[in-house]
Structure 1
Amino acid sequence: MSASTTHDPAAESGGTSLTGLSAAELVAAYKEGDLEPQAVVSASFELIEKSEPELHAIYDSFPEQALEAAQESARRWASGHALGPLDGVPVTLKENQKVKGRPTPWGSAATTPVPAESNAPVIDRLQSEGAIILGRTTMPELGMLSSGVSSLHETVRNPWNLAWSPGGSSSGGGAAAAIGYAPINLGSDIGGSVRLPASWCGVAGFKPTFGRIAVDPPYFGRHIGPMGRSVADLALATGALAGPDDRDPYSLPKQRIDWADLTFDPAGRRIGLVLDVGDGAAADPEVLDVVRRAAAVFERAGATIVEIPPFLESGTIDLIDLFWRIGHWNDYCRMDPERRKLLLPFIAEWCRGGHGISGEDALRSHDAQLDVARRTIAATADVDVILSPVSPGAAFPAEWPMPSNDVNDPMSHIGFCVTYNMSGQPAVSVNGGFTEAGSPVGVQIAAARYEDRLALAAAHFFESERPASAVRPWPTLSA
């Protein structure tokens, strides 16, 4: 394969190939008897085999188990006893989502490869719905990089241009969604790790309300969310996966939500527009132009656009970064000394930034999270939906660990995303356009806590009405 991409016109709206079909299209075809899951799963693995030598998006694949599960799904569909709306639908997991009997290395050669004793809650939920798990996608070192760079794996690359990073930390999931491995690709998100790769890979990505999908291990601000080629598939996946689990004390009770209802009328709605959160890197002009054009789509449909002024204090993101460093310094110290030497140097240096911190500064870094939550909720309280960039910039070189490529300024790009991790609000990334260089640019569409359906519906509206320039054929790797 060459180190370049071509674009497949047949894939523009799902395409005629099996790997181009949405989850909803697959389920409809299974129900009518027009298609069997085995054929779809086989097509997915053919695409994986073709693409992986250059993409490096898959860490751990399960072809035998997946084909066996596909046969069982076919029997259920034939007998009229499908388990749920994901029965027979291919799904990828993120490397940090535990699978019983398999290690969970978190993208690092420094971790000790111990087989998991049980599945993560999301795995159990997927299996109960009949979803076909193809495998786990690659993540960067300890999940603390917005790239596909790690000490364990080859660097994950962006299907739109193999010289670019797909983003992270759900790097493999974003690349898998863009190339078409599966209609639903699960990631995790503590500061943008679903939405950033969704933005840079030109796909849709959803961070639900905090606690909507159970997480193991749970952590404040950590969410599980899907990436895919359509907002409708994100809604389908979220509805199937939402619900409580005792392994996650933050998980929410099951809510009665019609996840299939994505109707949204902008007329009379107040749409917030955030172009500067007050901290972190300033957004590039090309990114701001895409977001302003997205706001114009809502305004033409009758919405009132309300510009929201910056609301974070300068230095807040550095405090959150410090809190994460302190936690990882603790992990660093507990590592086997010989294995510790295997850490990616960028991350080893980043961890050392958490050493020698006073108790007062540690508490300040902890309290910054709650401060961001309060400020974000207050700033967005008087609008129905909020538009913003996902990232201040477009895709960056694949070999860089972070967009800044600077361990002393690693998190300046997460300002638009981390606000909603701390506040727990649902937020969607939908492609809104492309830079002159051809990099996708995501538009973030958020809503109040627990208003997941509203955020998805607004995103679905924009996906349907966005400028023609925001839609291009899906990338394919040239042979």
Structure 2
Amino acid sequence: MPEALHELSAPALVELYRRREVSPVDVARSVLGHVERWEHHLHALFLLRPEQVLEQARASEARWLKGQPLGPIDGVPVTLKDNIATRGDPTPLGTAATELVPATADAPPAARMRESGGVLLAKTTMPDYGMLSSGLSSYHALARNPWDRSRTPGGSSSGAGAAAAAGYGPLHVGTDIGGSLRLPAGWCGIFTLKPSLGRIPIDPPYTGRAAGPMTRTVADSALFMEVLSRPDDRDSMSLPPQQIAWSTFECGPERLRGLRIGLLLEAGCGLAVEPEVRAAVEHAARLFERAGAVVAPMKPFMTQGMLDGMDYFWRMRSHVDMRALPAEVKARVLPYIQKWADSAAGLTGEATFRASHQFHLTRVAAVNACRAFDYVISPVSPVPAFPAELPSPTNDPLRPLEHIGFTVPFNMSEQPAASINCGYTSTGLPIGLQIAGKRFDDLGVLQVSRAFEQIREAQRPWPQPPSEAMAHVD
């Protein structure tokens, strides 16, 4: 049975456009119809405007008929996370406390997408200020995981993870400062690359913050990197422009032969790794070994003090930001986030400095631990997707980050790190494998991810919208 148009990869769609066998308008209609069947169950999107989608698709169709596409994703449906500004649209940052003022310009990822002819399907939902690893928001409806709608899609790129898994077209953009690309990717069974800091320009830039592609396949992310990594001088931390042949990500399992792979099974802080997660990652390690890689165990390099320090610093940052809000505006923020930020009220200047120093210590520890290896594999999260209504796995604002011990160090060390599905729990929830490389080796991480994509077991079919007769009220 041929795949529906909304299920096709970006490279496949572009080839069909080139051969004039399919129109971007056909694809837009297919995606919109699929969204209509799914979205009231998932709440992945906001600013969904079908007429504007079709208008963009018609313009792309005209360009393809003239043989003049704007770029490598012309006519391909794209979603952008709420916090990536799009000109003329509000940027609520997931919270009811934000004043809804239209953005005056596209943020860099949005600008690159438009310059290449991508069709903006919608923006995607996120939690308040991006400070949760769930889809709980005071502004957006509660986002849910397509694999099990009682579970979270993760966060803070909540809607993007759900949209990719649900088949809302092939290309999605999220952001990540401690795991916000990789956690939803892991829990939704999709692929993502958190690139080296500065590889994809972003505005506003911030220590550890990165934008990245969220897709079903490595090929889709590689194609999207060609677009998103183009320079933009608004990012003061962006890398110098570099010609990277993203198309050379394609490789076979032989790419793994002889590689030195570090296997990190304990984060050194936070929650213990659940047995099913550990088993899936250990199985992935054996697949690497069978392909000729040399896999060696790693000792944990994170400490609880490092994780707590980053947590305390982020609490103080949010406390300062929210203290500037009028009381009636602050009251609109999720109570969990308010309690978390207010807990920093008693921190002294010295305590805040010591907390901030943990970012540097984390960076040094990560680089030193990875030095002996070409790549490092680990769980993305110690736990599978948790109940959708919870703000975090612990549901405790004083222990909010206990699940990011594997992901956050690679934000601070600026290393590229991907998430790719490596198995399922007994209840059918995806389990993410993190593949991290040395700083600047984004292409290598894509290549190793592509090789693993070929040696892992066959994947389960993507979730489909429930029939109306079977659907329950979410």
Query: TM-score interval w.r.t. the shorter chain?
Result: over 0.9
User: 1: distance between equivalents of 2:302 and 2:432?
Assistant: 22
Kindly provide the CA deviation profile for residues 284-310 of structure 1, in whole angstroms up to 9, marking residues without a partner as x: 111111111111111001110021111
Match of 2:94 in 1: 107
Residue identity (%): 47
Match of 1:229 in 2: 216
User: 2: distance between equivalents of 1:305 and 1:311?
Assistant: 18
Contact between 1:166 and 1:175, CA under 8 Å: does it hold in 2? yes
- Whichever residue aligns with residue 97 of structure 1, its letter is I
- Whichever residue aligns with residue 366 of structure 2, its letter is T
Number of aligned residue pairs: 464
Q: 1:128 aligns with which of 97, 115, 133?
A: 115
Alignment of 1:465-476 (within 5 A): 465-468=455-458, 471-476=459-464
Cα deviation, residue 183, structure 1: 0.4
Q: 1:157 aligns with which of 136, 144, 153?
A: 144
User: 1: distance between equivalents of 2:446 and 2:425?
Assistant: 25
Is 2:396 aligned against 1:409? no
- Whichever residue aligns with residue 476 of structure 1, its letter is Q
Match of 2:293 in 1: 303
Q: 2:246 aligns with which of 259, 282, 285?
A: 259
Corresponding residue SS for 1:61 = coil
- Whichever residue aligns with residue 314 of structure 2, its letter is W
Cα deviation, residue 467, structure 1: 2.1
Corresponding residue SS for 1:421 = helix
Cα deviation, residue 332, structure 1: 0.5
Contact between 2:46 and 2:124, CA under 8 Å: does it hold in 1? yes
- Whichever residue aligns with residue 221 of structure 2, its letter is L
Contact between 1:243 and 1:253, CA under 8 Å: does it hold in 2? no
User: 2: distance between equivalents of 1:244 and 1:274?
Assistant: 34
- Whichever residue aligns with residue 84 of structure 1, its letter is G
Corresponding residue SS for 1:106 = coil
Contact between 1:195 and 1:428, CA under 8 Å: does it hold in 2? yes
Cα deviation, residue 268, structure 1: 1.1
User: 1: distance between equivalents of 2:348 and 2:185?
Assistant: 37
Cα deviation, residue 182, structure 1: 1.8
Alignment of 1:279-290 (within 5 A): 279-290=269-280
- Whichever residue aligns with residue 324 of structure 2, its letter is R
Corresponding residue SS for 1:425 = coil
Corresponding residue SS for 2:404 = helix
Alignment of 1:229-248 (within 5 A): 229-248=216-235
Cα deviation, residue 97, structure 1: 0.7
Is 2:417 aligned against 1:430? no
Unaligned runs of 5+ in 1: 1-9
User: 1: distance between equivalents of 2:207 and 2:218?
Assistant: 26
Q: 2:60 aligns with which of 73, 78, 82?
A: 73
Is 2:195 aligned against 1:208? yes
Cα deviation, residue 273, structure 1: 0.7
Is 2:97 aligned against 1:139? no
User: 2: distance between equivalents of 1:159 and 1:312?
Assistant: 32
Contact between 2:86 and 2:107, CA under 8 Å: does it hold in 1? yes
Q: 1:455 aligns with which of 441, 445, 455?
A: 445
Cα deviation, residue 314, structure 1: 2.7
Contact between 2:144 and 2:162, CA under 8 Å: does it hold in 1? yes
Q: Structure 2 length normalisation: TM-score?
A: 0.96
User: 1: distance between equivalents of 2:331 and 2:257?
Assistant: 58
- Whichever residue aligns with residue 134 of structure 2, its letter is S
Match of 1:342 in 2: 332
Cα deviation, residue 244, structure 1: 2.6
Match of 1:177 in 2: 164
User: 1: distance between equivalents of 2:398 and 2:346?
Assistant: 16
Match of 1:391 in 2: 381
Q: 2:353 aligns with which of 360, 363, 377?
A: 363
User: 2: distance between equivalents of 1:434 and 1:97?
Assistant: 31
User: 1: distance between equivalents of 2:51 and 2:27?
Assistant: 14
Contact between 1:205 and 1:227, CA under 8 Å: does it hold in 2? yes
User: 2: distance between equivalents of 1:313 and 1:341?
Assistant: 34
User: 2: distance between equivalents of 1:448 and 1:117?
Assistant: 37
Corresponding residue SS for 2:214 = strand
Cα deviation, residue 333, structure 1: 0.9
Corresponding residue SS for 2:206 = coil
Is 2:466 aligned against 1:478? yes
